[in-house]
């Protein structure tokens, strides 16, 4: 929509279209509405792009921001619509109790689940134990 069309729309909404301050007030409200609509449109477009498998890097490039900025603005935290405290606790990492989310991936097993952070920590612990075992065998 052209700026002149937007100004005409603001004047049409103004209580007294001949009063520039009334037009300004109406224009301010109209710009807030347009901003909300534009944000909602952008949210939907990013959601569709992610559903189609588009990376955060590609989305950030297209929007002219970093992938981190795009992800921070548009990624929604994991919340199941019927989640209760118990179901959220049951979905959390069995070791550190962090809840799953877009930035925290889980490996699910029969009796529990473990987050990527705990997997990395477990790997370090096993490597340290293995190194210690080798040192003990040498002495």
The pLDDT value given to residue 97: 86
Domain match, 67 and 98 both: no
Cβ of 130: how many Cβ atoms within 10 Å? 10
The pLDDT value given to residue 74: 85
Q: Domain limits at 59?
A: 3-74
118 is in an annotated binding site: yes
Q: Is the pTM of this model over 0.75?
A: no
Q: In total, how many domains does the chain have?
A: 2
Domain match, 15 and 66 both: yes
Domain match, 54 and 25 both: yes
96 is in an annotated binding site: yes
The pLDDT value given to residue 4: 86
11 is in an annotated binding site: no
The pLDDT value given to residue 80: 53
Which residue among 33, 55, 74 closes a domain?
74
Residue 61 has pLDDT above 90, yes or no: yes
Angle 20-51/67-74 helices, nearest 10 degrees?
A: 100
Alpha-helical regions (H) of the chain: 3-13, 20-51, 56-63, 67-74, 85-91, 116-138
């Amino acid at each position: 929509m052209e700026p002149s069309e937007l100004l005409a729309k603001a004047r049409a909404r103004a209580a007294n279209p001949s009063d520039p301050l009334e037009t300004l007030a109406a224009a301010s409200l109209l710009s807030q509405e347009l901003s909300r609509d534009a944000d909602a449109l952008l949210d939907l477009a990013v959601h569709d792009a992610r559903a189609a498998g588009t990376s955060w890097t590609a989305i950030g490039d297209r929007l002219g921001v970093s992938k981190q900025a795009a992800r921070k603005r548009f990624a929604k935290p994991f919340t199941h619509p019927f989640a209760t405290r118990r179901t959220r606790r049951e979905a959390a990492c069995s070791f550190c109790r962090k809840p799953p989310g877009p930035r925290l991936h889980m490996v699910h097993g029969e009796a529990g689940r473990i987050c990527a952070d705990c997997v990395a920590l477990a790997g370090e612990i096993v490597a340290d134990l293995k190194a210690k075992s080798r040192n003990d065998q040498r002495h």
